[in-house]
Structure 1
């Protein structure tokens, strides 16, 4: 029997208070770990944790009634895995959009002869060419302009309606169908790079004809500056058209978590 004047709480009461906030917090924090812009190393870890908690608290009125999961049972571990899996999958899906744009930049850089100008990218922990990095930065700026960070937060909140807290991670992973977005990676990258690939192919064919007509001309000394100049002009001309494929891929990635199943 509790002493008079002391406030006591039962385990069920603590679970009832913490459970509605804990599971959204874990899912949002997992999203911030993998999603572009939020996962930048320049952002301190404490800031990410505080922002994830703030989003989880503010999203409470929009969330459906969440089930109460006891923290000391086996269901708690399954629920944690589900929240981390859904959040990481959403961040990975949006990361694929940026990978598609960077892949298009790699193909364009290969055609321009600039793939040797590569450097270490701390974001992907890999070597990336200058053109691929440029396209990745343009996609990131476009992501901010279209309020993609707000779309991600809305998508992770909406995901609780289609992937409720039930601890069934494998079922949630099967419903996401991330392989469909993975197949769009290469096709979208090809469509983004196709105009410049055709333009640079025409330039190379022209330089080949010139080398046959005038063998005394050093095609290696003339071809690279011409290809580089035409490639830069082509990038400047086609860069305004980058918005449409990026928006299409972004919408496709978000629909995997917010579309009606």
Structure 2
């Protein structure tokens, strides 16, 4: 009769368990993977497949018994690091959506809001459009592969040692969160300048021809120029999204 000891089982399971937990935690918050249309069984199976395939590039991982006190700290560290990777990518989408909100406010479309079930919040039509464009661009630039590589390479920077507080201190996610406003302004700056020029032009016209109803003329003009400006500046969205993605991935050693 073939028998296995607990030490042998732990030695076989540990190399797969730690990457599996980290990838599964990332799947719970990362774009595309965290969508409700993706079944939980698919997420678990894909996380297990990634953990198995990553064994060829991962170094020797520590063997920690499930009865050991350090097992809980190690599990917590994997969950924290995985959630941080997904959250950092979420920040990129938040910056793009905020840029859309600013553009929609300048265009006068801030009142056209819809309920977004993914974020459980109200988003304007322009903000939601920019969010969908960022999601499509995320797939085109292989962002899903970038975050998977970031998870695998994060074991070099954040090895399995159970010290999740030290890992949080090294990530400095607060700096990435503070860049949401500057990044959103960077993306929306061409449209802000264009709409500001339109508003200044409409102000001059209202002074030159006071009999013209500027409120009746200004809205369709601003809306038309805004839509044309979005169509003209949308191809330039790739560069800031790529820069933000690279910055967020580099926090976890993905740029090495």
TM-score of the aligned structures, taking structure 1 as reference length: 0.96
Name the SS for the 2:251 alignment partner. helix
Write the distance in 1 (CA, Å) between the matches of 2:85 and 2:217.
47
Write the distance in 2 (CA, Å) between the matches of 1:12 and 1:143.
43
Name the SS for the 1:128 alignment partner. strand
Q: CA deviation at 1:167?
A: 0.5
Q: CA deviation at 1:260?
A: 8.4
Write the distance in 2 (CA, Å) between the matches of 1:74 and 1:205.
67
Q: Larger deviation: 48-57 or 202-211?
A: 202-211
Task: Report what 1:57 is aligned to.
Answer: 52
Deviations 1:96-135 (A, max 9, x none): 0010000000000000000111101111110000100111
Q: CA deviation at 1:217?
A: 1.4
- Match status 1:13 vs 2:16: no
Task: Report what 1:154 is aligned to.
Answer: 149
- Match status 1:129 vs 2:116: no
- Match status 1:111 vs 2:106: yes
Task: Report what 1:201 is aligned to.
Answer: 196
Q: Larger deviation: 97-106 or 178-187?
A: 178-187
- What RMSD over aligned residues (CA atoms) do the two structures have, in Å? 1.2
Task: Report what 1:237 is aligned to.
Answer: 232
Task: Report what 1:178 is aligned to.
Answer: 173
Name the SS for the 2:225 alignment partner. helix
Deviations 1:129-155 (A, max 9, x none): 010011111111111011111111111
Write the distance in 2 (CA, Å) between the matches of 1:118 and 1:260.
37
- Match status 1:25 vs 2:6: no
Name the SS for the 1:195 alignment partner. helix
- Match status 1:257 vs 2:239: no
Structure 1 stretches of 4+ with a deviation exceeding 6 A read none
- Unaligned regions of 5+ residues in structure 1, if any? 1-5
Q: Is contact 2:85–2:252 with CA below 8 Å preserved after alignment?
A: yes
| Count of aligned residue pairs for this structure pair | 256
Q: Is contact 1:162–1:260 with CA below 8 Å preserved after alignment?
A: no
